[in-house]
Structure 1
C-alpha cells in the first residue's frame, strides 16, 4: 500500500469523525484480553470479574477524552505521544518515558500473540508455536506494512462482526437452554460465582479501574487517534467508545456461563474448547472464529503500528533528521518485521496467563497515571522528578510482590508514586511561595 508521506502512514490523509473514530478506538480496545481475560476473571472473581473488565476500559476511555482535549489544544500538530512529550519533558524524562512506553506496548502485543496462538490451537489443533508464527506473519503484513488505511478498513468489518457475535451467540444459547435452567446450574455447580459480598471481587473492580486508567492514558495507539480526529469531536468520540465498550466484556463473560452451568472444568483453556464444541450452529461458529481473530489481530496491529510510528518519528528521526519520507516509511517496514520476530520469540518462550500478565504490568500502568496527568496539566516543561516518581512506584510495587498478592502490589506502586509525587510538588510549591520571593 503506497503512502506519499510518513505522516499519511501514521494518521491517514484526512481527519476522521465520531463514527469512524469510535470504530477505530473500539477496534483497538476490544482485544484478545477482552475475549479470554474477561472469562478468566469471571471464573476467578465471580460476577465482579466480568463487571471489573467492563468498567476498567469503559471509564478510562471516557476520562481520556477529557485529557485528550487539553492535549490537542496545547499541541495540535503532533502525530504520536512522543511528539507531545518532546515539548513537555526534558531530555532525561523524555527518554525515560520512551522506554516505559515501549515496555507497555510490548506487553500489549505479547498478550495478543498469546491469545492468537491459543485460539489457533483450540480451533484447528495447530501447535501453539506454529499458530503464533502464522499469527505474527499475517499481523505484520496487515498492520506494519499496510499502515493506517489497512487498520481502519479492517476495523469497520471487525466491529460489525464482534457485536454480531456478542449479541447473537448469547441470545441463541440462553433462549435454547433457558435462562432459569442456566441460573439453577450455576447455583448447583458454581455458587461462588453469584456471591455479591465477594471482597476479592470488589478489590478486582477497583484495581481494574486503576489498571485501566494507566493502560488507556499511556497507550500510544489511543494518543494517535487523538491526532486523527477533529478537536471538537474528541470528547464525544471517546465517551461513546467507552459506553459501547462496556457491553463487550459482559457479553463474552456470559459465553463462559453457557459452558460451566452444566458441571466443572479444568482451566480457562479447557473452557474455550468446550465453548467451541457447544456452538452447534456453523454460522455462529464461523462468526465466533472471525470475531476472535479480528479482535486479536486488530489490537496487535494497532499496537504494532503505534510502536513503529513512535520509533520512527520520535527516535529514528532524532538521529536522522534529514531522512526522506521514503526512508522513514522503509524504516517502518523493517521495524515491523523486527518487532514481529521479537514478539514471536517472547511469546514462544513465556507462558503466563492473561491475568498474570495484567497484574504484572499493572504495576507499571498504575504508577504512570498521576505522572502523566501532572505532565499534561503542567505549564511549560515538566520536571524529571515527575517521571522519577513513577519509577519509584514501580520499584516499590515489584519488590512488594514478594510479600503481598499481585493486586495489593499494584496499590503499593500507586501509593508510592503518589506519595513521592505529592511530596515533590508540595516542596516545589513551598519553595516558590516562601523562599524564592523572600
Structure 2
C-alpha cells in the first residue's frame, strides 16, 4: 500500500501548506499517540526540534495532540535528531518525535517519529498511523489528559553520550577543527563536545534566528566552511545539516570528503581492529562504484539498500552490520546509536586522525571515485517517470553506459524532484546520458 503522508524520512513539506500545517501536526500527535498507547503504564513521548521558526507552532500542535489522547509529553527543545532517538530510549518513552526538515530551508518543516527502542518507524507502523490520522481521534476523558513538561538538561545528556563514543585513551589536543552547525539543532552541542575533548574549535553557523537554518552554511553549502578552514589553518572541517544527523567533511586543503569516503575509512579501520560486524558495509544505490571496489580489495562486501537512512538501517539490522550510511553523509554506527549522527561520525574520523598521525588529505582519500553525476529535475504534479519518452531515454542511457556503468532514476521522498544519477568510466558520456534523461523528464 502506498503511503499518503510519510516519505522516506517522516512527513515533510512547506510550512502552513498540507501536509505541514498545525492542524496536521495535531492529528499526527493524536494518531501516533493512540498507536503507541500500549499497556497500563503512564505513557510518554519525547519531542525535540531544530531551530526553524515554525518549530514552535508545530511543537505546540503536537503537544496538544499527544496530551488529548492521554500521553505525557517531555519537550527537550533544539537538539539533534540522534539526541531524540537516544533520549526516547533512555527515558523509557513510548515514542520520540523530531520536528525538522533536515537539510531543507526554513520555509519547510517535518515530523520524524521514533519507536520506544529509538529506531525510526517501519513502513507498517507509518501506514497504521496514517489510517488513524484520517479517523476520528480517540480523545480521553478530562481526568486522563496528558501532562507536558520541558527539561533543560537534554543537551548535556547528549553531549555526555557523544563523548562516550570517542576512545577514552585519546584526546583532541593540538587539533584545529572548524565546525559548521548550519544554524541548526547542533549549534550548542557540537562545538561544546569538541572543545571538551580538547580540540581548538572555530564554530560557524551557530547564530540561529529561525530563518537562517541551512542558509549559505551547513552540509548543503560548504563554501564558507572551506574558506574558514584555509584562513584558520585548521586540520579538519565538519559541516552538519539542520538536524545534525549527517555531515560532510572538508580536509585541511579545502577538499570535500563525502559519505562514501567516510564509510571506507571507518569500515576498513574497524575491520583491521576486529570491530567490524557483518563482513562489510551497507550503503545505498547512490554510493559510488569506487567504494564497492575499494571494499572488495579489503576483503569486504558492500550491501546496497534503497535511498533513505532508515532503509540502510533495516539492511544493517537484517545482516548484522554495524557500519552503514549514505553518500550524502548519513553515517550509521549501530555500536553508538540507532540513527545517523553527524557528530558521532565526525568523532570517529578525528579518532582515526589522532591514531594515524596523518593529515586529513592523506587519510580520507582511500579510493578514486568513478565519474558520477547527479541532477535534480523539479516537477509539479503528474508522473513523469511513467511517460514513454522518459522510459525510452532511460533504456537508451543504460545501453550507452554498458556493464561498466550504472544509472539510478528515482523520485525524491522528501521533495517534488526526480533525481537522475549516472556513473561510469567515461565522464563525458555520463554527462550526456544524465542531460538527455533530464530533458526527457522536463518535457514530460
TM bucket normalised to smaller: under 0.3
Structure 2-normalised TM-score? Answer: 0.24
Structure 1-normalised TM-score? Answer: 0.24
Greater relative CO (CA pairs within 8 A, separation 6+)? 1
More helix by share: 1
More strand by share: 2
